[in-house]
Structure 1
Amino acid sequence: MSSRSTTFKVIVIGGGPIGLTAAHALHLAGIDFVVLERLPEIFEDRGASLIVHPHTLRVLHQFGILDNLLPRGAELNHHLSFTADGHVFAEGNRYGLIREYHGHGPVAFHRAEILKIMYNGLPEAAKEKILTDKKLTDITTSCDGVIATCADGSVFHGSIIIGADGVYSKTRQIMRDLALKENATRSWDPVHPYSATYQLLFGSFPSSSPAGQGYDIQSKGKAIMYFSGPERGWFFLYKQLPRPTSERTCYTQKDVDAVAAEFAEFPLTQTLQVKDVWPRMLGAGLTNLDEGIVKHWSFGRIVLVGDACHKMTTHLGLGFNHGIQDIVVLCNSLRKAVRAASGSRVPSAKVLTGIFEKYQAVRMSSVCSLEGDVAKSGLETRMHAWQNPCYYLLSRYLSVPHTIEVLFMKYVMAPGFRKGQVLDYVPGRSALRARLAGFIL
């Protein structure tokens, strides 16, 4: 389906995975758009991985990129749980159960690979609308449109702004300023709406392990998640902070090296330790692991998606998947409104406000699994880091039996995946392969 010109135009702030998801969804909806990315490159290699769950593969199939994407990832198939001294205390079947219930297991990808395939999967006309080196500095709103101003002086006019610019969203900050400027006494989210209990060191390295491993390493106050792909391995090292914080912390290379040294003797696999791979790192970063859901997802003609409005820990690999669900729910409603608008095909401000409110209400309702998944992700992190004796017992003993794992995957995780929605205006390009048939259940 080709993009057609309309007088309704969306300005997407952020050219990461969720911003590119918006580009695909808007293009397929025939809605004009521009994506503004602050970095000079779309394919920044940050050394991180993304886990794509079965319900998200459905949407990527609608984009026409699934066949190109799957060979670049590794379907997870082997799960082990270690203690920090290398003792294996559980060999679970969580990935096999996901495949059994949904037709495909979760797939680990290098973040930059997903970005490249998502970008290259767009037609040339859509690629031209994705601009780099465009750092947002200001947003001006009016009764009939929005203006985004960038640090280089460039100005972009549109009908709405979608803020897909991550956990430290500039869009969210400006939206807050505009709301309080209009009414200084109104209740609004704080400048830093999330809190962090853990610090996270993430990185990638050339992996000699078989692809498809997804291991967790547990100890008091510290934990690791490890995944192996076709060419790279990725680790996520979690360390409990002295106290929870809502402030943004900027870490130096010295801080990165210090945290890595603390984990040097921790195992990643049965034959590999952190110290074995650290000299061969292809990229690493250190950040606080923010968690939470903001109360206000929109104001006027501005709306937030992804980490800009909800953030969860990385232990279950659900964050990227929920950002995609945001775009799906939002764009399904936007397309209907644009098509229903008479004359100029521009929905009124009142209609847009209703769309944004409905979008948030749906995503926060039992129709979706967002609230529960934020809680489950945080629970898993605290269990693996043995935050208190109850979490320790739950992780080391109570959740280990096979029967408990089956019950958890079948009655806790599976219902969440089945709630995944797809674009309602994109018919299947072809019948999904047999192994993906479980998606329709």
Structure 2
Amino acid sequence: MKLEADVIVVGGGPVGLTLACELRLAGLDVLLLERRAERVSNSRGMGMHGRTLEMLGLRGLAPRFRERALPFSIGHFAVLDTRLDFSVLDPQYGVNLVIPQSVTEELLEARAAELGVRVQRGALVRELWQDEEIVSVGGDIDGAAFTARAAWLAGADGGRSLVRQQAGIAFEGHAASVYSMLGDVRLGAPLPGKAHTVVNQAGVLMVVPMGDAYHRIILIDAQRCREPSQQPPTLEELAEGACRVAGYDLQLSDAVWLSRFSDETRLAAQYRKGRVLLAGDAAHIHMPAGGQGMNVGMQDAFNLGWKLAGVVKGEAGAALLDSYDSERRAVGQQLLVNTMAQTALLTACDTRGLALRQLMDGLLRDPATNRALALEVSGFGISYPASLSMAPDGCRVLEQWTGARVPDCPLHLASGAQVQLHTLLHSGRWLYLRLCDDAPAGVCAPGQVQTLRATLREPVSGLAGAAALLVRPDGYADYALA
């Protein structure tokens, strides 16, 4: 079997599906290859942060995910007692959704079907090769050999990414040193509240409600967390460790999923090599502290999609993809620092370690410190240092807006319509807002630009008196003009 497409995406989890949807929204022929014959029913990831939800809102999809999720206005950093307050970050998206990764995947796959993404399940990619014009893969689909070729290929095929290996991209970092367990189970004993956390010299225990009478148990057992095990986890092992940390028997039963995970921490040496690009776990793996992995991966895809589409369609040069590497690899580097720091705190179970946790907990009570970490974990704190296009000659750029996230503010259009800014990004195009009559009539950007005359219906900090705003398809400002 021979297949062709503009772009091949390898990996059909949330990251690969997000990327495929963005590419298809831009009109590309997208082939998504996924080795699993069906979606998995179990979910390692259970959380969606505010910036990821806002990102989906930029395409009009946020309500679909809210309807299937439990919202919380708080999160955690290394399970310290003082929680991160997301509610102060944004009035609309200052939440943390409890939503199984399987549901996120289901909703994204439905979106892919709406857009016309070609999804080929049961496709196991075994090899990859590329030249200056084409990248090809070979493997088998349900036992039958196939080859596929495209102008570009993106690997979203997880931490053991064959795409990364075949492309010859190094995966640098640190081997596992801490081993933990999780299980989706029923509880026979009551909890003090809906969610429950315990940290003491016996280890760390988190209990999170999942709905349908099931809870997720996450356990770092101080007695065993330094001992790697090749054996499948058992309910008895999880129950014993949970009892030791909690101080009483939670009466765990009816496990539908048990798994182990570690703090192995690695970052791809580059996110692009020739015509091959990486996103999500294929580019970065780490301790799943704070539920950041899937979120950062989906944001990788959202950054890459419109850039790659612009290159394929001839609206931008291939150099635009260098900004994907520079922007998102920097985010990946900070993600690894963040999760390694949390790992150190999570495994600090002796007397000195608990004293350190107490000290850090006190620091989180300071609103400025709490906000800083909430911005980092949620993704709202991400900004990019350089503009991707040239401002018109003779115009003064408001530097604080270059690469900054643009909030969803109400606008009054010259047509008389009143709209929210984010609705104008549903098509995935660049948006140029002329905020006064003296603003330049048009601008150039690496992609199609929608130009509108508009005024702000409510003040936006830093935009008072601005003449114009150029917004990237991913909701970040390229620049604002004074």
Query: Taking structure 2 as the reference length, what is the TM-score of the superposition?
Result: 0.69
List runs of 5+ in structure 2 lacking aligned partners.
Answer: 384-404, 407-420, 428-459, 462-474, 478-482
1:201 maps to what in 2? 181
Shift of 1:39: 1.0
Distance 1:339-1:161 versus aligned 2 partners, 3 A rule = closer
Pick from 141, 149, 163 the counterpart of residue 171 of structure 1: 163
- Asked if the contact 2:74–2:95 (Cα under 8 Å) also holds between the matched residues in 1, the reply is no
Higher strand share: 2
Higher relative contact order (CA 8 A, sep 6+): 1
2:398 maps to what in 1? none
Q: What per-residue deviation string (whole Å, max 9, x for no partner) do you get for residues 378-402 of structure 1?
A: 212221221676543221x112237
Distance 2:267 2:78 in 1: 31
- Asked if the contact 1:36–1:132 (Cα under 8 Å) also holds between the matched residues in 2, the reply is yes
1:111 maps to what in 2? 101
Does residue 1:235 correspond to 2:217, yes or no? yes
Q: What aligned pairs does 1:186-225 form with structure 2 within 5 A after superposition? A: 189=170, 194-206=174-186, 213=194, 215-220=196-201, 222-225=203-206
Paired-residue identity, %: 18
- Asked if the contact 1:202–1:234 (Cα under 8 Å) also holds between the matched residues in 2, the reply is yes
2:231 maps to what in 1? 252
Distance 1:403-1:196 versus aligned 2 partners, 3 A rule = closer
1:101 maps to what in 2? 89
Distance 1:134-1:38 versus aligned 2 partners, 3 A rule = same
List runs of 5+ in structure 1 lacking aligned partners.
Answer: 1-6, 84-89, 177-187, 342-346, 431-436
2:289 counterpart letter in structure 1: H
Higher helix share: 1
1:434 maps to what in 2? none
Pick from 242, 251, 258 the counterpart of residue 276 of structure 1: 251
> Partner of 1:284: helix, strand, or coil?
strand
2:343 maps to what in 1? 381
Distance 1:282-1:159 versus aligned 2 partners, 3 A rule = same
- Asked if the contact 1:290–1:311 (Cα under 8 Å) also holds between the matched residues in 2, the reply is yes
> Partner of 1:122: helix, strand, or coil?
helix
2:11 counterpart letter in structure 1: G
2:154 maps to what in 1? 162
Pick from 98, 110, 118 the counterpart of residue 120 of structure 1: 110
Shift of 1:19: 0.8
Distance 1:391 1:284 in 2: 28
Distance 2:210 2:48 in 1: 13
Distance 2:162 2:270 in 1: 15
Distance 1:100 1:141 in 2: 47
1:384 counterpart letter in structure 2: L
Q: What per-residue deviation string (whole Å, max 9, x for no partner) do you get for residues 82-126 of structure 1?
A: 99xxxxxx75342xx211222322111111111111112234452
Q: What per-residue deviation string (whole Å, max 9, x for no partner) do you get for residues 164-205 of structure 1?
A: 0111111111111xxxxxxxxxxx626x85521221322223
1:408 maps to what in 2? 369
- Asked if the contact 1:18–1:320 (Cα under 8 Å) also holds between the matched residues in 2, the reply is yes
- Asked if the contact 1:165–1:171 (Cα under 8 Å) also holds between the matched residues in 2, the reply is yes
Distance 2:61 2:76 in 1: 31
Distance 1:80-1:427 versus aligned 2 partners, 3 A rule = closer
- Asked if the contact 1:315–1:380 (Cα under 8 Å) also holds between the matched residues in 2, the reply is yes
2:25 maps to what in 1? 28
2:329 maps to what in 1? 364
Does residue 1:265 correspond to 2:243, yes or no? yes
- Asked if the contact 2:176–2:264 (Cα under 8 Å) also holds between the matched residues in 1, the reply is yes
Distance 1:414-1:80 versus aligned 2 partners, 3 A rule = closer
Shift of 1:55: 0.7
Does residue 1:133 correspond to 2:130, yes or no? no
Distance 1:362 1:28 in 2: 22
Shift of 1:52: 0.9
Does residue 1:65 correspond to 2:61, yes or no? yes
- Asked if the contact 1:199–1:241 (Cα under 8 Å) also holds between the matched residues in 2, the reply is no
1:40 maps to what in 2? 37
Query: Which protein shows a greater Rg?
Result: 2
Distance 2:63 2:335 in 1: 28
Distance 1:79-1:338 versus aligned 2 partners, 3 A rule = closer
- Asked if the contact 1:141–1:147 (Cα under 8 Å) also holds between the matched residues in 2, the reply is yes
Q: What per-residue deviation string (whole Å, max 9, x for no partner) do you get for residues 206-238 of structure 1?
A: 57989x955443244742333223434223223
- Asked if the contact 1:29–1:425 (Cα under 8 Å) also holds between the matched residues in 2, the reply is no
Q: What per-residue deviation string (whole Å, max 9, x for no partner) do you get for residues 239-273 of structure 1?
A: 5798989xxx88433x44564254140567x9x85
1:16 counterpart letter in structure 2: G
- Asked if the contact 2:128–2:135 (Cα under 8 Å) also holds between the matched residues in 1, the reply is yes
Distance 1:213 1:315 in 2: 20
Distance 1:241-1:145 versus aligned 2 partners, 3 A rule = farther
Aligned length, in residue pairs: 385
